[in-house]
Amino acid sequence: GEDVEQSLFLSVREGDSSVINCTYTDSSSTYLYWYKQEPGAGLQLLTYIFSNMDMKQDQRLTVLLNKKDKHLSLRIADTQTGDSAIYFCAVPNSGNTPLVFGKGTRLSVIA
């Protein structure tokens, strides 16, 4: 089955860029996702990228996909204190709909 790995913590200064990385194992995944979870809350879909794309940009968010290395990253430009949250990378399990999540990267933004 699919396995998704992320680093657990990231700390950045307000105004800097944040880069959160993720690796996965199943190359047949069609869509790859980034979710945001604020304390005590559910998951909010931030963005997703189709597997035939290398990059997707949406305002302050840039997703980069390296299919050869099975590496996905999320860049947040001009990081704000409101971006402090846990960010989850998620990939469908072998093309099926249940998502496999990484353990999440806790982003702390220092003012």
Partner 1 sequence: NAGVMQNPRHLVRRRGQEARLRCSPMKGHSHVYWYRQLPEEGLKFMVYLQKENIIDESGMPKERFSAEFPKEGPSILRIQQVVRGDSAAYFCASSPTALSYEQYFGPGTRLTVT
Residues in a beta bridge with 62: 57, 75
Contact pick of 24, 63, 88, 109 for partner 1 (by CB under 8 A): 88
Picking from 6, 10, 2, the residue whose alpha carbon sits closest to that of residue 72 is 6
CA distance 111 to 104: 22
Contact pick of 7, 66, 96, 108 for partner 1 (by CB under 8 A): 96
Contact pick of 18, 24, 33, 70 for partner 1 (by CB under 8 A): 33
Q: Residue 23 is encoded by which pair of tokens? A: 């690796």
Q: Which stretch binds partner 1 (CB under 8 A): 51-59, 63-71, 72-80, 85-93?
A: 85-93
Give residue 98's Cα distance to chain centre. 17
Amino acid at 108: S
Contact pick of 27, 52, 59, 97 for partner 1 (by CB under 8 A): 97
Residue ranges binding partner 1 (CB under 8 A): 4, 31, 33, 35, 41-45, 48, 88, 90, 92-93, 96-104
